[in-house]
A and B are shown apart, each in its own frame.
Chain A
Amino acid sequence: MSEKTPTSPEERRQFITFLSGQQEFGANIMMIREIRGWTETTPLPHAPDFVRGVINLRGVVLPVVDLKAMLGRGLTEANPKHVIIVVKTGDRTIGLLVDAVSDIMTVTASDIQPTPELARDSNGAFIDGIAVIEQRMVTLLSMEKLISSLTGEINVSEAA
């Protein structure tokens, strides 16, 4: 199971879209384990601010990442209406704090445009492309890259 964005025009993939700081993002639905409400986290020392801490997900200690903060847009003021998207790639599982889940959409390769040159800052490393469907612009995130950056194993050259 790879979360590669569709390559052949016929190939269709489903993405969950969600809102974080006014922006709409998409993540391959195959990577999503569950969606749960926000609960207080246990902060981790020496962690960057976007790592909000860890929560107990049925016995698993799950790190929770604030997507908005990770993209450099400030901390999410989390309340129980916020959601944590539980994402799993390989044997790693993390929670992604976002404002709300909005939709499930089907994307084909022709819907996807490469990331604009300007957006290729450090955050661009997690962005796989931009899908434009019915006037909506959805930034497609690479969960694999996002998680590996968290565990300190990102290979930036791979992301380019």
Chain B
Amino acid sequence: MGKTVLTVDDSRTMRDMLKLALTDAGHTVLQAEDGVHGVEVLAQAGDVDVIITDINMPRMDGYGFIDHVRSNPKTRATPILVLTTESEPAKKQKARDAGATGWIVKPFDPVKLVAAIRRVSP
């Protein structure tokens, strides 16, 4: 029941950690370094099951990226989890307003991460 997960984060550490946790859980991981890159990867990959995205990124931030995903009929219903830190409630709200499905609080626990994916993706 491995899924294809796209992670979008400009921090290499975060990308590495996401990849490790997701790969360990049997998921296939695609990675992008910012929103623009994420859009490209999505276009190339066709479908992904879940998207995990950071908010603060160069070029296109998480809000812009979520907007993009939600406005594309193909990815409209793709679950999106936002990476937030607990200190950013306003950002979380903004991400939700932009159409995020759920969120993962950084630093994340791999078990929670995998559970969050299970809660949003069949």
A and B touch in the complex (CB under 8 A): no
Residues of chain A having any CB pair with chain B under 8 Å: none
Residues of chain B having any CB pair with chain A under 8 Å: none
